[in-house]
Homo-oligomer: A and B are copies of this chain.
């Protein structure tokens, strides 16, 4: 275990202004408290891990606790203190909750009266588009959380970094909030570096958005719960279709390029899935211990089966088979959709063994992405945004707001993009899936 003493949070400068928040530093006075400057929580709460590290004189990984500080870097009473917000990448439930809460917190708590809503992602920070940025007010955003999508619209892809920083400076933006995934955090980090290079005083704080819940070091990202809850409905539809037909197979593909989290949770929430197939756990289709034989056994026993697959699963499988089968490029490309691929393979297999059957395939991705946040995600978004504003006002920059062991925390952007969180095949989540589905522990023949 490496030492993490170096996990310092970048700051723009000394925090010298008093916070306008009417909070306390006294316990027991029935007034909510500021967060002490140095509050930290361990990332891994395991007793053995922490003691082992400490016994060797190492500091286990710990994160600074987010929240309002008594002293700010930016003067909330300064005229024209300006913020900007961008939303990038694919839709995710809760984006509007985050936008709304950023605006409410900036406006009502810190008195910020100029909040630029830059439209269409980083494109909104380029010259022609920044002209069209919205001047966000509490009235404008008051009800946006009841609709899905992004009030600020979105786009994918990077823009020229020096140009974007030019615009931030031209518009006198002091606080930039980026709502987006890994790519966005990478882009934001480039902006942070360019700002630092110029010695500008602009705090950049990221609010991680990934429907797959695969951001490193953060236990949970917004929209994820809404996503798997909505996915559950699609899973239940597939179950209903499967049960309604003789040897009916319901097959649902859910989001998860690298992570089977949504697939696992949606399957657990349904209580009905018989097979969950994820990128983290290898499997084979053919052979006596492969998936298809396990499916056959299930159908023979119960006449219907329910399969949930994450979109990132089985990619290597498809490529291998494509080579063996000598498929051409376009065929190959088509196969890269694991849902359609499995549908074909299951249908072929059941036809070959002479079993009358029906396969119903559901791909609910856009429906899942575009719903409004559920209540729990709304609360999470609200707190996330509050903490992002707190962090930026103290001059912290180059961080995202994470969540760890019941605390919102500051995670350096550089650390956040150092990998992606995945389902642990040895861990309790996958174990719960195996127990709930009864699927074979391994579906590999060797």
Contact = CB atoms under 8 A, between A and B. Distances in A.
A213 to B, nearest CB: 12
A375 B54 contact: no
Contacts of A109: 435
A241 interface: yes
B376 A269 contact: yes
Contacts of A105: 435
Given A375-B228, A386-B432, A405-B405, A145 B271 contact: yes
A442 to B, nearest CB: 6
B153 A245 contact: yes
Interface string A7-36: 000000000000001111001111111010
A265 interface: yes
Nearest to A368: B237
A143 interface: yes
Interface stretch (A41-49, A188-196, A311-319): A41-49
Given A54-B54, A244-B150, A366 B360 contact: yes
A371 interface: yes
A362 interface: yes
A326 interface: no
B436 A153 contact: no
Interface stretch (A173-181, A289-297, A338-346, A377-385): A377-385
A82 interface: no
A31 B241 contact: no
Interface stretch (A164-172, A197-205, A393-401, A423-431): A423-431
Contacts of A149: 240-241, 243-244
Interface residues of A, number: 106
A407 interface: yes
**What is the count of identical protomers in the complex?**
4
A148 B237 contact: yes
A378 B47 CA distance: 29
Contact of A282 (B30, B38, B40, B407): B30
A184 interface: no
A88 B50 CA distance: 39
Given A21-B435, A38-B48, A268-B382, 8 more contacts: A32-B428, A32-B430, A40-B48, A42-B46, A91-B241, A149-B243, A237-B366, A241-B366
Interface of A: 21-24, 27-33, 35, 38-42, 45-48, 50-51, 54, 62, 67-68, 91, 97, 100-101, 104-105, 108-109, 120, 123, 143, 145-150, 153-155, 219, 225, 228-229, 232-234, 236-238, 240-241, 243-246, 265-266, 268-269, 271, 281-282, 360-362, 364, 366-367, 369-371, 374-376, 378-379, 382-383, 386, 404-408, 425-428, 430-432, 434-436, 438, 441-442, 444
23 contacts: A30-B282, A30-B442, A31-B441, A33-B426, A33-B427, A40-B47, A41-B45, A42-B45, A42-B50, A45-B404, A91-B244, A100-B271, A104-B436, A147-B240, A228-B375, A237-B367, A269-B375, A269-B376, A362-B366, A362-B367, A364-B364, A386-B432, A405-B405
The 6 closest A-B pairs by CB, nearest first: A229-B375, A32-B431, A149-B240, A240-B370, A269-B375, A237-B370
